[in-house]
Amino acid sequence: MNNTSPLQKKRLEYKPSIPEILKDLKNAHFKTIKGTQPHESLKKLFPKTFDQPTHQLVQRGAGGLPPTRSAFKTGVVFSGGQAAGGHNVIAALCDAGAKVIGFLGGPSGIVDNQWIEIDMEKVAPYRNQGGFDLLGSGRTKIETAEQLAASLKTVLEHKLDGLVIIGGDDSNTNAAVLAEYFLTKGCETRVIGVPKTIDGDLQSADIEISFGFDSACKTYAEIIGNIARDALSAKKYYHFIKLMGRSASHIALDCALATHPNLTLIGEEGKGLHKIVNEIADLICHRYEVGKEYGVILVPEGLIEFMPEMKALIKDPTAAENQAFFKTLPEKIQNQLTMDKDPHGNVQVSKIETEQLLMDLVKKELKKRDFKGKLNAQEHFLGYEGRACMPSNFDANYCYALGLLAALAVREGLTGVICSVQNLKKPPREWQLKAVPIVQLMHLEIRLGKEKPVIKKVLVDIKGESFVYFSHFRKSWEIEDHYRYPGPIQFFGDPELTDSLSLSLMV
C-alpha cells in the first residue's frame, strides 16, 4: 500500500515563489541599516552582540564584495510546537548550498549531540509538507552552564559555520544567548533565529508574523466553518470551540474574521469572569427570544489569564474580596486552583478547564434568570488539528524565503540575528529581507527574583486595526447568523484562493 497520498506527492512538486533578491544568491549581500535601539539594560548581558546594526539584504553592485564563504556548514533545529512550513526552512538551507546537519528532538539534540546529516535526497520527501518530523522537536532550553558548554562542544566538533534555530519567543531568546556565548568563547559558529509559532505572538517592528500562523488559522477556520454550518442546519447545539494559542488571542481573532461566529471572546479585552458569563448568557437569551437555540462561541486558550479577578486571586489568595470571588467558582475549579500548582507554587492557569468553567457558570446564570430554553452544548478544542497541517502556499513560500535568508546570514557571518521577511501582504517577489539583532526584540524581566532577558509575547492590540475591524462587525454576528465558510485550504487554481494571507494580517 502506498504511504504517500496524492496531495502529498503533488505538493512535493510545488516550487515556492521567492523574492527577487533571492533568485541570485551569489549576488545577494547584507548592507547595514539603522534598526531599533535595544534596551540599554541588555548591554551587560549581550556585550558582544548588543551594538550590531540591522542588516538588509540587497543586490551586490558591480563593485561589491564577493560572498564571505563559498562553502559553509550549518546545523538546524526545531524548537517547540509544530508549525506548518518548517521543513521548507531546511530545504532552503540545502538549496542555498549549505552542508546541513539536523539536531534531533529539539535543542536537547544540540546538548546531547544527536544529529543526522541532511542532503538533497533526505529533504526531498519533506518539501512543502507539514510537521517537524524530519528532525522531531522539543522544548528543552539551553540555559545552564553545562548545557551551554555541551552545545559549544557539539558545534565545535561539527565545525559548524552556523546554527539555525527555528522557534518562538523563548527559542529565539535562547538563540541570542547562544550567539553571545559562542562569541565569548571565541567560537566562530553563527546563531540565526527563524520566527516560528502558530500562536502569532512573536512579532516586532521587523517580524510581521511568525510562520505557521497562517496555515493553522486557515485549518481551524475550515473546521469552525463546518461546525457553524452544522449548527445552522441542525439548530440544536451551542458549540463552544476552544482554540490553541497560549496567552494571546491572535488565533481566535483571526478565526473570528474568517468565520463570523456569534461570540468570540478575546482575552486581551480583560473582561472579568462574571462579565463574560453574563455576555454568554445574554447571547443565549437574546437568541432564544428570536427562536434560536444554537450558536457558535470561540474561546481562546489563554482567556482566563486576563481576567482581573483571577489575576487578583492568584496574586493574593487570602484577601477578602478575592476569597469572595473564589467562592463563586465551581468546586472543580476551586480544587484546580488550590491543588495544581507548578514547582514554584504558582497556579497553573493554563490547566484550568476554561470552557468547563464557563459552561458551569453560564448554566447557573441561566437558571438564575429562569431561562425557559434548552442549552445543548458541544465542546471542541482545536489545536493538534492544525499545527502540523500541510503549509498553505503562503507558509511554504515564507518558510522557503526564511531558510534562504538564514543560509545567507550564516554565509555572511552574521550572528544573534533573527530572519525578517517584510511586506508580506504583497506577492513574494516584493518581499523585503533583513537580519535583525535579536536583542532589538528583547527586554529584561524579573523572573523568580532574577533578571532574565526575554522576548515579550505580543498580545492582541485592542487598539490595532484587526481588533477594531472585528469589533466593528461583531455585534452584527450575534443574533443574525452571518457565518462565513472558508472551506479547506486550496493549493491549485485561482491565486485569490491559493495565495491569500489569513485575514487578520490583511486588514
Q: How far apart are CA 102 and CA 109, in angstroms?
A: 9
List the grid coordinates of 393.
502556499
Helix (H, G, I), strand (E, B) or coil at 46: coil
Helix extents (H) in 158-272: 169-184, 213-234, 250-259
Q: How far apart are CA 204 and CA 259, in angstroms?
A: 27
Closest to a copy of itself by CB, 128 vs 174, is: 128
Least distance (Å) between residue 387 CB and a copy of itself: 5
Q: How far apart are CA 55 and CA 28, in angstroms?
A: 12
Q: Which of 199, 201, 254, 395 is catalytic?
A: 199
Helix extents (H) in 235-272: 250-259
Closest to a copy of itself by CB, 223 vs 248, is: 223
Q: How many residues does the chain have?
A: 507
User: What is the DSSP annotation of 116-145?
Assistant: EEE-HHHHGGGTT--SSTTT--------SH
Closest to a copy of itself by CB, 427 vs 488, is: 488
Amino acid at 185: K
Q: What is the DSSP letter of 391?
A: P
Closest to a copy of itself by CB, 278 vs 490, is: 490
Closest to a copy of itself by CB, 232 vs 314, is: 232
Closest to a copy of itself by CB, 1 vs 320, is: 1
Amino acid at 488: P
Closest CA to 7 of 266, 329, 390: 390
Helix (H, G, I), strand (E, B) or coil at 117: strand
Least distance (Å) between residue 409 CB and a copy of itself: 25
Contact 213, 199 (CB under 8 A): yes
**Phi, psi angle pair for 389, to nearest 5°:** -70, 170
Closest to a copy of itself by CB, 30 vs 78, is: 78
Least distance (Å) between residue 422 CB and a copy of itself: 25
Q: How far apart are CA 173 and CA 440, in angstroms?
A: 11
Closest to a copy of itself by CB, 317 vs 427, is: 427
Active site residue 95: no
Closest to a copy of itself by CB, 53 vs 383, is: 383
List the grid coordinates of 44.
551587560
Least distance (Å) between residue 477 CB and a copy of itself: 9
Task: Specify burial of residue 361 (Cβ count, 10 A radius: 0-12, 13-18, 19+).
Answer: buried
Task: Specify burial of residue 230 (Cβ count, 10 A radius: 0-12, 13-18, 19+).
Answer: middle
Least distance (Å) between residue 481 CB and a copy of itself: 9
Q: How far apart are CA 312 and CA 193, in angstroms?
A: 36
List the grid coordinates of 123.
529533504
Least distance (Å) between residue 339 CB and a copy of itself: 19
Task: Specify burial of residue 18 (Cβ count, 10 A radius: 0-12, 13-18, 19+).
Answer: middle
Least distance (Å) between residue 455 CB and a copy of itself: 22
Least distance (Å) between residue 390 CB and a copy of itself: 5
**Phi, psi angle pair for 445, to nearest 5°:** -125, 150
Closest to a copy of itself by CB, 416 vs 486, is: 486
Amino acid at 220: Y
**Location of C-alpha cell 548550498:** 97
Least distance (Å) between residue 415 CB and a copy of itself: 28
| Residues linked to residue 78 through DSSP beta bridges, in sequence order | 166
Q: How far apart are CA 467 and CA 488, in angstroms?
A: 24
Least distance (Å) between residue 10 CB and a copy of itself: 6
Q: What is the 3-state secondary structure (H, E, C) of 443-467?
A: EEEEECCEEEEEECCCCCCCCCHHH
Interface residues with a copy of itself (CB under 8 A) are 1-8, 10-11, 78, 81-82, 105, 129-133, 136-137, 219, 222-223, 225-227, 229-235, 237, 239, 258, 260, 378, 380, 384-390, 469, 473, 482-494, 496-497, 500
Centre a 10 Å sphere on the Cβ of residue 194 and count the other Cβ atoms it contains.
26
For the chain, report the end-to-end CA distance as a whole number of angstroms.
45
Which residues are known catalytic residues? 199
